């Protein structure tokens, strides 16, 4: 079964609104989680590293004020897409390393966002 | 993280072994080789990882050359459900904050 779960699996929102996507580690704690975005027929692009109890680390070119990340507990990270626009429509995926050394990284099922 | 090079696509007949190559000539001693696959519209699925020794699990085998500059993922008896994009990734082993950087992967098509 899944060890990392995302919610919602898909969401449709109106342009200008904000959408929150949750990522949960099941049965293990994750001080670090990663958020990716994937456009059709492209590879996964890392957006940011979510750190429990501290600020997220964003990759170059990713707007931190637009993609708000909160890692409030050891099992939950959230990604909020603020003031969403159609170009934000994408497949958003989170991942979390498991184990003391984090050698195995598991991915969530992904969340499809469509902005209309 | 070191970059990897994979063929963009491969075909394999069902029931045969699928051998997916990966070049990582600039890999450092601190970096593991990871393999993931992504079936359409799903999150990536972990397959296997290794440092320098060959590894085998219930899904696949990973063969790493002695100089660690390349590796091969082997699916011993491919089925139609193994059709996916396979990603070879090298990752620094120093800690949970070490991230996975995805390349373009190999699209494996398993056919009847």
**A46-97 pLDDT per residue, tens:** 999 999 989 999 999 999 999 999 998 999 999 999 999 999 999 999 999 9
Q: Does B42 touch chain A (CB under 8 A)?
A: yes
Phi, psi of B30 (to 5 degrees): -90, 0
What is the Cα–Cα distance from A16 to A84, expressed in whole angstroms? 5
Q: Is the pLDDT of residue B93 over 90?
A: no
B53 prior amide bond cis, ω within 30: no
Lay out the sheet containing A67-73: strands in order across: A4-7, A19-25, A76-81, A67-73
What is the Cα–Cα distance from A45 to A54, expressed in whole angstroms? 22
Longest alpha-carbon distance in chain B: 42
Q: Is the pLDDT of residue B21 over 80?
A: yes
Task: Give the per-residue pLDDT at B41.
Answer: 84
Task: Give the per-residue pLDDT at B2.
Answer: 61
What is the Cα–Cα distance from B101 to B44, expressed in whole angstroms? 12
What is the Cα–Cα distance from B72 to A113, expressed in whole angstroms? 35
Q: Which of residues 14-33 of A touch B (CB under 8 A)?
A: 30-32
CB within 8 Å: A31 and B102: no
Q: Does A3 touch chain B (CB under 8 A)?
A: no
Residues B29-40, mean pLDDT to the nearest whole number? 93
Who has greater pLDDT, B16 or A1? B16
The Cβ of residue B3 has, within 10 Å, a number of other Cβ atoms equal to: 13
Task: Give the per-residue pLDDT at A98.
Answer: 86
How high does pLDDT run on average in chain B? 93
Task: Give the per-residue pLDDT at A5.
Answer: 95
């Amino acid at each position: 079964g899944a060890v990392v779960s995302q919610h919602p699996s898909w969401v449709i929102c109106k342009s200008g609104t904000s959408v929150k996507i949750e990522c949960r580690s099941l049965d293990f704690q994750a001080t670090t989680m990663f958020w990716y975005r994937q456009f059709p027929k492209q590879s996964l692009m890392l957006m940011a590293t979510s750190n429990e109890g501290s600020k997220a680390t964003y990759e170059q070119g990713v707007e931190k004020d637009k993609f708000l990340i909160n890692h409030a507990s050891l099992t939950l990270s959230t990604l909020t897409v603020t003031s969403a626009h159609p170009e934000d429509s994408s497949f958003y995926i989170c991942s979390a390393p498991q184990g003391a050394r984090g050698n195995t990284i598991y991915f969530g099922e992904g969340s499809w966002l469509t902005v209309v | 993280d070191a970059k990897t090079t994979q063929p963009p696509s491969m075909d394999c007949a069902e029931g045969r072994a699928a051998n997916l190559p990966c070049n990582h000539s600039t890999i450092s001693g601190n970096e593991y080789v990871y393999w993931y696959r992504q079936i359409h519209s799903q999150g990536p699925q972990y397959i296997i990882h290794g440092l320098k020794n060959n590894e085998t699990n219930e899904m696949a085998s990973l063969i790493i050359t002695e100089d660690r500059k390349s590796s091969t993922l082997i699916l011993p008896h491919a089925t139609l459900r193994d059709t996916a994009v396979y990603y070879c990734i090298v990752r620094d082993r120093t800690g949970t904050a070490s991230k996975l950087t995805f390349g373009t992967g190999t699209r494996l098509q398993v056919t009847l």
